[in-house]
Structure 1
Amino acid sequence: MKLYRILLVIMTISCQVIAQNTPNLQKKGTATQLMVNNEPFLMIAGEVHNSSASTIEYMEPLFPKLKKMNLNSVFVTLAWEQFEPEEGVFDYSLVDAIIDNASKNNLKVCLLWFASWKNGESSYAPMWVKKDTKRFFRVKTKEGNEIETLSPFCEATKKADAKAFAQLMQHIKEVDKDQTVILMQPQNEVGMFQDIDYNTISLKLYEQTVPSELINYLKKNKKNLDTYVRDAWSESNFKTQGTWKELFGDTSESKAFFTTWQYATYINFVAKAGREQYNLPMMVNAWIVQKSEDLPGVYPNGGPVSRVMDIWKAAAPDIDIQSPDIYLPNFKEIVAMYHRDDNPLLVPESKAEVGRAYYAFGEHDAICFSPFGIEDAADNFVFTKSYEVLNEVEHLIKDYQGTGNMRAVLQEGSETYNDIYLGDYKIKVMYEKPNKPSFGIIIQSGIDEFIVIGMNMSMYFSSEVKNTIGYIGQVFEGRFENKKWITTRMMNGDETYHNSRLRVFGRTYVTNEDILQTTKKEGEPDAYSPATKQSVVTPGVYKVITYKR
């Protein structure tokens, strides 16, 4: 009996250790961080093209290329049709190859489960699902025609999808001993390109009462609801019982909330089935609203767009993060919509504009930034070097997330400057090269000390303390090696106009015809001797010492 109790204690402790070591999300101040092996992990990432991991032959040479681009993680597709080519018959070869290749190249993985839907369509479902239209029925149009998109109201499809996803998660838990897979995405950019599914089941449910789970969420979060949801609800004077029409009117919003609820509960069912096998963090991504006047169905109706995030939060508690895919130019406005106290920022798809990464990490404590089709940027020297600098300062970003002592700037459109406030100082950031990418992260590392990472800017420091004037005392250009600061140059005189400003030159590389053959020059001062050779600028790192009198 005594031996049994000892064994029981050992097993309990072992289970607790395994649970603690499983990737998870933890709060740190105002930020939420992804924990991997009990350490915060910043996903300096990229998403490969949809078919890049569809065969082992195509995949194998890809991962070393991604590592050379200074990624530490990658978003990779796994299709249901390849994982379960016949019902109940599972092929583990691709998922094993993804894990093996990523592990060999020291890359972490977010696995994208392309199953019932991808981009509002259903092309990644298995043939045995596609062919059986009676068992796995489709979305219907207003005219009564079936389209190729699987209906979110089909219980048979939901259960089949969830069964396969659970099998996948169980297998990952068994084979992924190094925790290469740290995040999962069930489905991709879901939604239908119409106002509602016009099949009989859908229309009957639409006439029924709104689920109590949503009502309770709306009541609890009434003051903080997104204006799109709150305004629609206010039309009924905030009724707390009734049908979708009675609460939200016979409107496009009412149909959108109903459709969103169905997609979210479906995907939550799939995610929960997976988490019961292996409890990894789960995220979903959105084909975002392109224009504010767009009605649901112009964009995929039912997906986790910012205006219905509250519906998703109520319907899908097993989904941790709702994420935007951002190809529009107003990046700063969009990430602000998705970064909420209950929703950390994670950007799974974007243009390969590396300033966006710096802004997401520095201004919004992002967990991840990941351009789509990342292999296309393999020859982008600025992108690769900028990611290298992110790796160099990654420890600082993680340390200062959630503290309020880190900000970021990014030039968009016709902006010429931004004002940043940190501690006792106002920092005026001037974008002085309008045709060049200008961005940076500013960290207050001491009362009168700042670390600046970025390029193509000037910064002016002034005091916010009454009856005092703020000054720049010293400026150092340098780098971090193994988290230790190394000064490569003290900057004064021409380089800072006698400490009147910090001039964020960046690291300048003078190049020949081949950009890969470079001779490094640390910060080229162009105050009185402008560059005469071809050069490429990438982010630099600076330490600024200030004082007040």
Structure 2
Amino acid sequence: MENTFLRDAQGKPFMPIGLQAHNSSTGTALIKKAVRAVKLYGGNCLETPVYWYRIEPEMDCYDFSMVKDVIEEAREAGLHLILLWFGTSKNGHPNYVPEYIKLQPDIYRLAQGPDGAPVPSLSVHCRETLERDKKAFGRFMEFLKEADGESRTVLAVQIENEMGYANTDMDYSAEARRDYEKPVPGALAGVELPDSGRELIGEGKEASAWKRQFGRHAHEAFSAWYHARYIDEVASAGKAAYALPCFTNVMVGEQGYEEPGLCYNAGAAVGRVLDIWKAGAPHLDFIGPDIYNQNRREYTRICRAYAREDNPLFIPESPIRGVANAMNALLAAADYGATGICCFGAESALDEEGNLLEECRDMALTMRILSAMSPLLIHYRNTGCVHAFAEDEFETSHYLKLPEYHVTAKYLRSAAMYTGYTTDTHSEAGKKKLQVRGRALLVQTGPNEFYLCGAGVGLDFYRRPDPADESCYSHLHSRQSGQLNFLSVEEGHFENGEWVTELVRNGDETNFSHYVLDGQLIRIRLNPNTGMSAE
């Protein structure tokens, strides 16, 4: 899978770890609160919306002062931005379009449900709406190039928000029905959807071409294609003005009984129709799922669907609080090569005094771990060298087999462990460090070199027997084959991509396990020489 990341002004890969502001915060004092929350989460990026109706309050009259202000706010705080274009669609609804769009439904048409009544979504079969969105987005991108083209505070732009039809599986208007009767576009030749039942339809003339190819998912496939083409035209217009990465986010389909218009917006780039979207929107750099699913099976299923050769996994929205998301985010980074993870609702993470709410500390801890490890996550993405430990329910330890080592992770809530005198685990605050649900990232950077960052975890390394060793049992049983046989163990951090040592561990701090308690990052250099001969 291609090692694709967003890039900063110097062209270096950049992994956004951050928060998204609430929908109405841009242009208000709430942005300062959002910025503070990002800092407390250890993040490097703020996602925030820009509003079509504010940018174009009257037809062809543009005002970008709001955009200028938020760029300056982020730049001053040392953060990058991902701006969200709230245009035709916000969760499928046209809330953020200018009033001249809302007041002329005969020109800028709403989609229709099967009963002919309008639904609260603009039709993607309406060329007039598309042309106005394209023009406004193009002007917006022109402004970004002028205001930020050199500084590159803005990393990327999200086009629309969770686009799709609300309360219907397709647009049933006369215009849409005419499109539905056309042949399936050649770009979709060979595309099949799972569990479509198409084999039961046959070649009867009574079935449309969409129905013959996509079976029970025909209406969804049709809606997906036209939504993809709509967004692709907007993206193309924007990139013609400023070649900044563009993407769209998705109200995921892996929920409920997975029927469009009922469980999620119809036409959205859900996993089922992702092939259609990739064919229909080539100007999008990636498509990012908003994952609020806490169940680990659902979460990882979504990650698998979007982590593709042609689609690096980027998660633009996830819960700002909760233990489940704090565990799952590490799996996204390690097991599915996530190139960025953000949480929604920055301002809601803080109390009235601007302090982090207790229920947000778990997710903030995980975000700090991701940020601390981001240089390694960028360099070692999809190499098989990145491993996650995320304490599951009823789990007390976790085993990882590496080519040269057995690695056992002990979760310290369940396994009491001596952690050395330099770490406070005896005061009330210190005892809390041992009660956190265990989570960590382990990156192997050489045959015997590892970086471990996390909380509530202790690792033991045991060198696996040499294939030619006839005394493998006694050698493996020796403590010299374990984590005690190290060259160095260092606490530290990365600074401009370079490792900086803050403390060298030894003695009591290394005799029992290599541990991390509250987001620490340690470098472990094991000794390749066990001192034991295979003869």
TM-score where L is the length of structure 1 = 0.79
Q: Within the alignment, does 1:277 sit opposite 2:241 as a pair?
A: yes
Q: Is this contact kept in 1: 2:19–2:343, CA < 8 A?
A: yes
Match of 2:130 in 1: 158
Match of 1:479 in 2: 492
Looking at structure 2, the residues matched to 431 and 238 of structure 1 have their Cα atoms a distance apart, in angstroms, of 59
Looking at structure 2, the residues matched to 199 and 205 of structure 1 have their Cα atoms a distance apart, in angstroms, of 10
Quick one: which amino acid aligns to residue 203 of structure 1?
R
Quick one: which amino acid aligns to residue 183 of structure 1?
A
Q: CA deviation at 1:354?
A: 4.0
Looking at structure 2, the residues matched to 437 and 349 of structure 1 have their Cα atoms a distance apart, in angstroms, of 23
Q: CA deviation at 1:181?
A: 1.0
Question: What SS does structure 2 have at the residue aligned with 1:371?
Answer: strand
Looking at structure 2, the residues matched to 290 and 364 of structure 1 have their Cα atoms a distance apart, in angstroms, of 17
Question: What SS does structure 2 have at the residue aligned with 1:459?
Answer: strand
Quick one: which amino acid aligns to residue 51 of structure 2?
A
Q: Is this contact kept in 1: 2:181–2:208, CA < 8 A?
A: no
Offset from partner CA, 1:74-129 (integer Å, 9 cap, x none)? 11101111111111111111111111111111111111001111112111111110
Q: Is this contact kept in 2: 1:285–1:322, CA < 8 A?
A: yes
Q: Is this contact kept in 2: 1:345–1:366, CA < 8 A?
A: yes
Looking at structure 2, the residues matched to 420 and 123 of structure 1 have their Cα atoms a distance apart, in angstroms, of 49
Q: For 1:392-471, list aligned pairs within 5 A.
A: 392-433=372-413, 436-462=436-462, 463=464, 466=467, 467=469, 468=472, 469=476, 471=482
Looking at structure 2, the residues matched to 540 and 316 of structure 1 have their Cα atoms a distance apart, in angstroms, of 40
Q: Is this contact kept in 1: 2:331–2:388, CA < 8 A?
A: yes
Q: Is this contact kept in 2: 1:471–1:546, CA < 8 A?
A: no
Looking at structure 1, the residues matched to 494 and 138 of structure 2 have their Cα atoms a distance apart, in angstroms, of 42
Q: Within the alignment, does 1:358 sit opposite 2:330 as a pair?
A: yes
Q: Within the alignment, does 1:261 sit opposite 2:220 as a pair?
A: no
Match of 2:189 in 1: 215
Q: For 1:125-524, list aligned pairs within 5 A.
A: 125-176=97-148, 177-192=150-165, 193-215=167-189, 218=191, 228-229=193-194, 243-249=209-215, 251=216, 253-291=217-255, 293-298=257-262, 299-329=264-294, 330=296, 331-352=299-320, 353-378=325-350, 379-380=356-357, 381=361, 383-384=363-364, 387-433=367-413, 436-462=436-462, 463=464, 466=467, 467=469, 468=472, 469=476, 471-472=482-483, 473-474=485-486, 476-480=489-493, 482=495, 483-486=498-501, 488-492=503-507, 498-499=511-512, 502-507=513-518
Looking at structure 2, the residues matched to 236 and 418 of structure 1 have their Cα atoms a distance apart, in angstroms, of 49
Quick one: which amino acid aligns to residue 195 of structure 1?
D
Looking at structure 2, the residues matched to 444 and 69 of structure 1 have their Cα atoms a distance apart, in angstroms, of 25
Q: Is this contact kept in 1: 2:18–2:341, CA < 8 A?
A: yes
Taking a change above 3 Å as real, the CA distance of residues 341 and 416 of structure 1, as seen in their structure-2 partners, is: farther
Looking at structure 2, the residues matched to 233 and 428 of structure 1 have their Cα atoms a distance apart, in angstroms, of 49
Match of 1:34 in 2: 6
Q: Is this contact kept in 2: 1:44–1:73, CA < 8 A?
A: yes
Offset from partner CA, 1:44-82 (integer Å, 9 cap, x none)? 1111111111x2444355435533543211111011111
Question: What SS does structure 1 have at the residue aligned with 2:230?
Answer: helix
Q: CA deviation at 1:383?
A: 4.8
Looking at structure 2, the residues matched to 115 and 542 of structure 1 have their Cα atoms a distance apart, in angstroms, of 46
Q: CA deviation at 1:542?
A: 4.7
Quick one: which amino acid aligns to residue 305 of structure 2?
M
Q: Is this contact kept in 2: 1:449–1:546, CA < 8 A?
A: no
Q: For 1:61-100, list aligned pairs within 5 A.
A: 62-100=34-72
Task: Identify, as 1 or 2, the structure richer in strand.
Answer: 1
Offset from partner CA, 1:352-371 (integer Å, 9 cap, x none)? 34444433333333221100
Quick one: which amino acid aligns to residue 213 of structure 1?
A
Q: Is this contact kept in 2: 1:405–1:422, CA < 8 A?
A: no
Quick one: which amino acid aligns to residue 35 of structure 2?
F
Taking a change above 3 Å as real, the CA distance of residues 327 and 95 of structure 1, as seen in their structure-2 partners, is: same
Match of 2:424 in 1: none
Quick one: which amino acid aligns to residue 476 of structure 1?
V
Alpha-carbon RMSD across the aligned residues, in angstroms, is: 2.8
Q: CA deviation at 1:401?
A: 2.3
Taking a change above 3 Å as real, the CA distance of residues 401 and 157 of structure 1, as seen in their structure-2 partners, is: same
Question: What SS does structure 2 have at the residue aligned with 1:408?
Answer: strand
Q: Is this contact kept in 1: 2:249–2:316, CA < 8 A?
A: yes
Q: Is this contact kept in 2: 1:506–1:541, CA < 8 A?
A: no
Taking a change above 3 Å as real, the CA distance of residues 324 and 421 of structure 1, as seen in their structure-2 partners, is: farther
Looking at structure 1, the residues matched to 57 and 39 of structure 2 have their Cα atoms a distance apart, in angstroms, of 31
Offset from partner CA, 1:171-227 (integer Å, 9 cap, x none)? 1111113111110111001112322211111122222210001116x3xxxxxx7xx
Task: Say how many residue pairs are matched.
Answer: 474
Offset from partner CA, 1:468-488 (integer Å, 9 cap, x none)? 545322372511253324262
Offset from partner CA, 1:418-474 (integer Å, 9 cap, x none)? 443434234233445377332211111221222111112233434275355453223
Looking at structure 2, the residues matched to 543 and 235 of structure 1 have their Cα atoms a distance apart, in angstroms, of 59
Q: Is this contact kept in 2: 1:80–1:126, CA < 8 A?
A: yes
Quick one: which amino acid aligns to residue 306 of structure 1?
G
Looking at structure 2, the residues matched to 430 and 242 of structure 1 have their Cα atoms a distance apart, in angstroms, of 58
Q: Which moved more, 1:144-153 or 1:458-467?
A: 458-467
Match of 2:524 in 1: 543
Looking at structure 1, the residues matched to 71 and 176 of structure 2 have their Cα atoms a distance apart, in angstroms, of 39
Question: What SS does structure 1 have at the residue aligned with 2:238?
Answer: helix
Q: CA deviation at 1:406?
A: 1.8
Q: Is this contact kept in 1: 2:56–2:62, CA < 8 A?
A: yes
Looking at structure 1, the residues matched to 33 and 492 of structure 2 have their Cα atoms a distance apart, in angstroms, of 31
Quick one: which amino acid aligns to residue 259 of structure 1?
S
Question: What SS does structure 1 have at the residue aligned with 2:389?
Answer: strand
Looking at structure 2, the residues matched to 172 and 365 of structure 1 have their Cα atoms a distance apart, in angstroms, of 29
Looking at structure 2, the residues matched to 81 and 233 of structure 1 have their Cα atoms a distance apart, in angstroms, of 43
Offset from partner CA, 1:259-286 (integer Å, 9 cap, x none)? 1111111011111110111011111111
